[in-house]
Amino acid sequence: MAPSLDNLLVVGVASSALFDLEQSDAVFTTEGEQAYRAYQEAHLAEPFAAGVAFPFLRRLLRLNALAPLVEVIVLSRNSPDTGLRILRSAAHHGLGITRAIFTEGRAAHEFMPALNMSLFLSANENDVRKATLAGLPAGQVLKSSFRDDDDPALRIAFDFDGVLAGDASERIYQSGGLDQFQRHEATNVVTPLDPGPLRNFLAGVNRIQRQAEDRIRVSVVTARSAPAHERAINSLKAWGLTVNDAFFLGGLEKAPILDVLKPHIFFDDQRGHLIQTVPCVHVPFGVTNE
Protein backbone atom coordinates (compact mmCIF):
# COMPACT_ATOMS: atom_id res chain seq x y z
CA MET A 1 0.00 0.00 0.00
CA ALA A 2 1.30 3.45 -0.91
CA PRO A 3 2.12 5.70 2.07
CA SER A 4 -0.43 8.38 2.95
CA LEU A 5 -0.02 11.87 4.40
CA ASP A 6 -3.67 12.12 5.44
CA ASN A 7 -3.17 11.41 9.14
CA LEU A 8 0.09 13.31 9.54
CA LEU A 9 0.85 16.94 10.34
CA VAL A 10 2.51 18.02 7.08
CA VAL A 11 4.70 21.13 6.98
CA GLY A 12 6.32 22.54 3.87
CA VAL A 13 9.53 24.48 4.30
CA ALA A 14 11.64 26.47 1.88
CA SER A 15 15.38 26.03 2.21
CA SER A 16 15.55 29.74 3.09
CA ALA A 17 13.61 29.06 6.31
CA LEU A 18 15.36 25.83 7.23
CA PHE A 19 18.97 26.87 6.64
CA ASP A 20 21.16 29.98 6.59
CA LEU A 21 21.56 30.67 2.88
CA GLU A 22 23.09 34.13 3.15
CA GLN A 23 26.35 33.24 1.38
CA SER A 24 24.85 31.23 -1.47
CA ASP A 25 22.08 33.80 -2.00
CA ALA A 26 24.74 36.51 -2.25
CA VAL A 27 26.46 34.53 -5.01
CA PHE A 28 23.19 34.23 -6.93
CA THR A 29 22.36 37.93 -6.50
CA THR A 30 25.77 39.34 -7.39
CA GLU A 31 27.15 36.79 -9.88
CA GLY A 32 24.11 35.14 -11.48
CA GLU A 33 22.68 31.66 -11.96
CA GLN A 34 25.69 29.93 -13.52
CA ALA A 35 28.00 31.10 -10.75
CA TYR A 36 25.40 29.97 -8.22
CA ARG A 37 25.28 26.49 -9.77
CA ALA A 38 29.06 26.25 -9.69
CA TYR A 39 29.16 27.48 -6.09
CA GLN A 40 26.64 24.91 -4.89
CA GLU A 41 28.45 22.09 -6.65
CA ALA A 42 31.79 23.17 -5.21
CA HIS A 43 30.30 23.30 -1.69
CA LEU A 44 28.14 20.18 -1.97
CA ALA A 45 29.92 18.45 0.92
CA GLU A 46 29.65 21.53 3.15
CA PRO A 47 26.41 21.49 5.19
CA PHE A 48 24.36 24.64 5.51
CA ALA A 49 24.15 26.16 8.98
CA ALA A 50 20.81 26.13 10.80
CA GLY A 51 18.24 28.75 9.81
CA VAL A 52 15.43 30.45 11.74
CA ALA A 53 12.90 27.60 11.49
CA PHE A 54 15.48 24.90 12.25
CA PRO A 55 14.90 24.56 16.04
CA PHE A 56 11.13 24.37 15.56
CA LEU A 57 11.29 21.77 12.79
CA ARG A 58 13.96 19.68 14.51
CA ARG A 59 11.82 19.38 17.63
CA LEU A 60 8.71 18.71 15.57
CA LEU A 61 10.43 15.88 13.71
CA ARG A 62 11.72 14.35 16.94
CA LEU A 63 8.11 13.56 17.84
CA ASN A 64 8.21 10.83 15.22
CA ALA A 65 10.17 8.76 17.75
CA LEU A 66 6.79 8.15 19.42
CA ALA A 67 4.91 7.22 16.24
CA PRO A 68 4.56 8.49 12.66
CA LEU A 69 3.13 11.94 13.41
CA VAL A 70 4.91 14.58 11.31
CA GLU A 71 6.13 15.00 7.75
CA VAL A 72 8.34 17.93 6.75
CA ILE A 73 8.78 18.40 3.00
CA VAL A 74 11.19 20.81 1.35
CA LEU A 75 9.51 23.08 -1.21
CA SER A 76 12.28 24.80 -3.14
CA ARG A 77 12.66 27.00 -6.20
CA ASN A 78 16.08 25.41 -6.72
CA SER A 79 16.68 23.07 -9.61
CA PRO A 80 17.17 19.41 -8.68
CA ASP A 81 20.96 19.62 -9.06
CA THR A 82 21.41 22.82 -7.06
CA GLY A 83 19.03 21.40 -4.44
CA LEU A 84 21.26 18.42 -3.67
CA ARG A 85 23.04 20.36 -0.93
CA ILE A 86 19.75 20.98 0.90
CA LEU A 87 18.88 17.33 1.53
CA ARG A 88 22.51 16.50 2.28
CA SER A 89 22.50 19.25 4.89
CA ALA A 90 19.27 17.89 6.39
CA ALA A 91 20.85 14.45 6.69
CA HIS A 92 24.01 15.93 8.22
CA HIS A 93 21.96 17.64 10.94
CA GLY A 94 19.98 14.47 11.67
CA LEU A 95 16.67 15.84 10.40
CA GLY A 96 14.19 13.22 9.27
CA ILE A 97 13.47 14.95 5.96
CA THR A 98 13.36 12.61 2.99
CA ARG A 99 10.89 14.30 0.64
CA ALA A 100 11.51 17.41 -1.44
CA ILE A 101 10.10 19.24 -4.45
CA PHE A 102 12.51 21.28 -6.58
CA THR A 103 10.76 23.48 -9.13
CA GLU A 104 13.58 25.59 -10.70
CA GLY A 105 11.85 28.94 -10.30
CA ARG A 106 8.23 27.80 -10.36
CA ALA A 107 6.04 28.74 -7.38
CA ALA A 108 6.37 25.65 -5.19
CA HIS A 109 3.36 26.51 -2.98
CA GLU A 110 1.07 25.35 -5.78
CA PHE A 111 1.76 21.79 -4.63
CA MET A 112 0.65 22.35 -1.03
CA PRO A 113 -2.92 21.00 -1.42
CA ALA A 114 -1.66 17.89 -3.20
CA LEU A 115 0.58 17.16 -0.19
CA ASN A 116 -2.03 17.92 2.50
CA MET A 117 0.12 20.71 3.96
CA SER A 118 -1.25 22.82 6.80
CA LEU A 119 1.72 25.21 6.84
CA PHE A 120 4.40 26.57 4.50
CA LEU A 121 7.38 28.47 5.89
CA SER A 122 9.75 30.58 3.81
CA ALA A 123 12.04 33.56 4.25
CA ASN A 124 10.91 34.85 0.85
CA GLU A 125 8.19 37.45 1.41
CA ASN A 126 6.97 37.37 -2.17
CA ASP A 127 6.49 33.58 -2.15
CA VAL A 128 4.61 33.72 1.15
CA ARG A 129 2.29 36.49 -0.04
CA LYS A 130 1.49 34.58 -3.23
CA ALA A 131 0.62 31.49 -1.20
CA THR A 132 -1.56 33.51 1.17
CA LEU A 133 -3.39 35.20 -1.69
CA ALA A 134 -4.09 31.73 -3.05
CA GLY A 135 -5.82 30.90 0.25
CA LEU A 136 -2.99 28.72 1.54
CA PRO A 137 -1.53 28.77 5.08
CA ALA A 138 1.89 30.36 4.84
CA GLY A 139 4.25 32.51 6.86
CA GLN A 140 7.49 34.42 6.37
CA VAL A 141 10.20 33.63 8.90
CA LEU A 142 12.13 36.68 10.07
CA LYS A 143 15.71 36.96 11.25
CA SER A 144 16.21 35.92 14.85
CA SER A 145 18.95 35.78 17.49
CA PHE A 146 17.23 32.83 19.22
CA ARG A 147 19.38 30.05 20.67
CA ASP A 148 17.71 26.77 21.56
CA ASP A 149 17.77 25.37 25.11
CA ASP A 150 17.70 21.94 26.75
CA ASP A 151 14.00 21.89 27.65
CA PRO A 152 12.64 18.89 25.71
CA ALA A 153 9.21 20.45 25.06
CA LEU A 154 8.30 22.13 21.78
CA ARG A 155 6.84 25.58 22.44
CA ILE A 156 4.49 27.12 19.85
CA ALA A 157 2.75 30.50 20.19
CA PHE A 158 0.02 32.10 18.08
CA ASP A 159 -1.65 35.44 17.78
CA PHE A 160 -5.41 34.96 17.52
CA ASP A 161 -7.13 37.32 15.05
CA GLY A 162 -5.76 36.99 11.52
CA VAL A 163 -3.86 33.82 12.44
CA LEU A 164 -6.03 31.22 14.17
CA ALA A 165 -9.22 33.17 13.46
CA GLY A 166 -10.23 35.16 10.42
CA ASP A 167 -10.02 38.94 10.32
CA ALA A 168 -13.73 39.85 10.67
CA SER A 169 -13.34 41.22 14.20
CA GLU A 170 -10.08 42.94 13.33
CA ARG A 171 -11.93 44.77 10.57
CA ILE A 172 -14.42 46.06 13.16
CA TYR A 173 -11.53 47.30 15.29
CA GLN A 174 -9.74 48.95 12.36
CA SER A 175 -12.86 50.76 11.15
CA GLY A 176 -14.63 51.58 14.44
CA GLY A 177 -12.03 51.56 17.19
CA LEU A 178 -11.73 49.68 20.47
CA ASP A 179 -15.14 50.52 21.96
CA GLN A 180 -17.04 49.34 18.90
CA PHE A 181 -14.87 46.22 18.75
CA GLN A 182 -15.59 45.35 22.39
CA ARG A 183 -19.35 45.87 21.93
CA HIS A 184 -19.35 43.74 18.80
CA GLU A 185 -17.49 40.90 20.49
CA ALA A 186 -19.74 41.01 23.57
CA THR A 187 -22.84 40.89 21.36
CA ASN A 188 -21.47 37.93 19.38
CA VAL A 189 -19.79 36.14 22.26
CA VAL A 190 -21.39 32.75 21.55
CA THR A 191 -20.94 32.99 17.77
CA PRO A 192 -17.66 31.34 16.76
CA LEU A 193 -15.41 33.28 14.44
CA ASP A 194 -14.53 31.90 11.03
CA PRO A 195 -11.28 29.93 11.11
CA GLY A 196 -8.10 31.72 10.05
CA PRO A 197 -5.17 30.47 7.98
CA LEU A 198 -3.49 28.46 10.76
CA ARG A 199 -6.57 26.89 12.34
CA ASN A 200 -5.86 23.55 10.63
CA PHE A 201 -2.22 23.68 11.67
CA LEU A 202 -3.27 24.00 15.32
CA ALA A 203 -5.69 21.11 14.78
CA GLY A 204 -2.75 19.00 13.63
CA VAL A 205 -0.69 20.06 16.65
CA ASN A 206 -3.60 19.13 18.94
CA ARG A 207 -3.75 15.66 17.36
CA ILE A 208 -0.09 15.17 18.22
CA GLN A 209 -0.66 16.45 21.76
CA ARG A 210 -3.15 13.67 22.34
CA GLN A 211 -0.26 11.24 21.93
CA ALA A 212 2.53 13.42 23.31
CA GLU A 213 0.85 15.95 25.59
CA ASP A 214 3.94 16.69 27.67
CA ARG A 215 6.11 17.22 24.57
CA ILE A 216 4.28 20.28 23.16
CA ARG A 217 3.04 23.46 24.83
CA VAL A 218 0.79 25.83 22.86
CA SER A 219 0.10 29.44 23.77
CA VAL A 220 -2.13 32.20 22.42
CA VAL A 221 -0.73 35.72 22.83
CA THR A 222 -3.32 38.27 21.75
CA ALA A 223 -4.14 41.96 22.11
CA ARG A 224 -7.70 41.00 23.08
CA SER A 225 -8.85 41.66 26.65
CA ALA A 226 -12.05 41.16 28.63
CA PRO A 227 -14.82 41.00 27.54
CA ALA A 228 -13.54 40.13 24.04
CA HIS A 229 -11.52 37.23 25.43
CA GLU A 230 -14.67 35.12 25.80
CA ARG A 231 -15.36 34.97 22.07
CA ALA A 232 -11.81 33.80 21.41
CA ILE A 233 -12.15 30.99 23.96
CA ASN A 234 -15.62 30.06 22.67
CA SER A 235 -14.33 29.96 19.08
CA LEU A 236 -11.53 27.56 20.02
CA LYS A 237 -14.06 25.34 21.77
CA ALA A 238 -16.41 25.42 18.77
CA TRP A 239 -13.53 24.40 16.47
CA GLY A 240 -12.64 21.54 18.83
CA LEU A 241 -9.21 23.04 19.57
CA THR A 242 -7.29 23.67 22.78
CA VAL A 243 -4.30 25.70 23.97
CA ASN A 244 -2.28 25.42 27.16
CA ASP A 245 -1.88 29.13 27.85
CA ALA A 246 -3.72 32.27 26.81
CA PHE A 247 -2.43 35.80 27.30
CA PHE A 248 -5.08 38.51 26.83
CA LEU A 249 -2.89 41.59 26.88
CA GLY A 250 -5.32 44.37 26.03
CA GLY A 251 -2.84 46.18 23.82
CA LEU A 252 0.24 45.69 26.03
CA GLU A 253 3.49 44.88 24.29
CA LYS A 254 3.87 41.19 23.46
CA ALA A 255 7.66 41.19 23.60
CA PRO A 256 8.03 40.79 27.42
CA ILE A 257 5.66 37.81 27.38
CA LEU A 258 7.42 36.20 24.43
CA ASP A 259 10.81 36.68 26.10
CA VAL A 260 9.52 34.62 29.05
CA LEU A 261 7.71 31.99 26.94
CA LYS A 262 10.67 31.61 24.55
CA PRO A 263 8.58 29.87 21.88
CA HIS A 264 10.38 27.95 19.17
CA ILE A 265 8.03 29.71 16.78
CA PHE A 266 5.51 32.57 17.10
CA PHE A 267 2.94 33.46 14.44
CA ASP A 268 1.41 36.95 14.10
CA ASP A 269 -0.28 38.85 11.29
CA GLN A 270 1.25 42.19 12.31
CA ARG A 271 4.97 42.81 11.87
CA GLY A 272 4.95 45.34 14.70
CA HIS A 273 4.38 42.52 17.20
CA LEU A 274 7.35 40.44 16.02
CA ILE A 275 10.72 40.53 17.76
CA GLN A 276 14.22 39.21 17.06
CA THR A 277 14.81 37.32 20.31
CA VAL A 278 12.46 34.46 19.36
CA PRO A 279 11.79 32.84 15.96
CA CYS A 280 8.90 34.86 14.55
CA VAL A 281 6.71 34.27 11.52
CA HIS A 282 4.71 36.97 9.76
CA VAL A 283 1.39 35.67 8.43
CA PRO A 284 0.42 38.27 5.76
CA PHE A 285 -3.30 37.62 6.06
CA GLY A 286 -6.30 39.91 6.41
CA VAL A 287 -7.05 43.56 6.79
CA THR A 288 -3.78 44.48 8.55
CA ASN A 289 -1.87 43.37 5.46
CA GLU A 290 -4.02 44.97 2.76
Return the active site residues. 159
Burial class of residue 165 (count of CB atoms within 10 Å of its CB; 0-12, 13-18, 19+): buried
Q: For residues 268 and 282, give the distance between their C-alpha atoms in angstroms, rounded to a whole number.
A: 5
Buried b (16+ CB within 10 A) or exposed e, 28-45: beeeeeeebbebbeeeee
Q: For residues 24 and 35, give the distance between their C-alpha atoms in angstroms, rounded to a whole number.
A: 10
**Identity of the amino acid at 115:** L
Element (H, E) at 236: helix 229-239
Q: For residues 132 and 284, give the distance between their C-alpha atoms in angstroms, rounded to a whole number.
A: 7
Q: For residues 71 and 57, give the distance between their C-alpha atoms in angstroms, rounded to a whole number.
A: 10
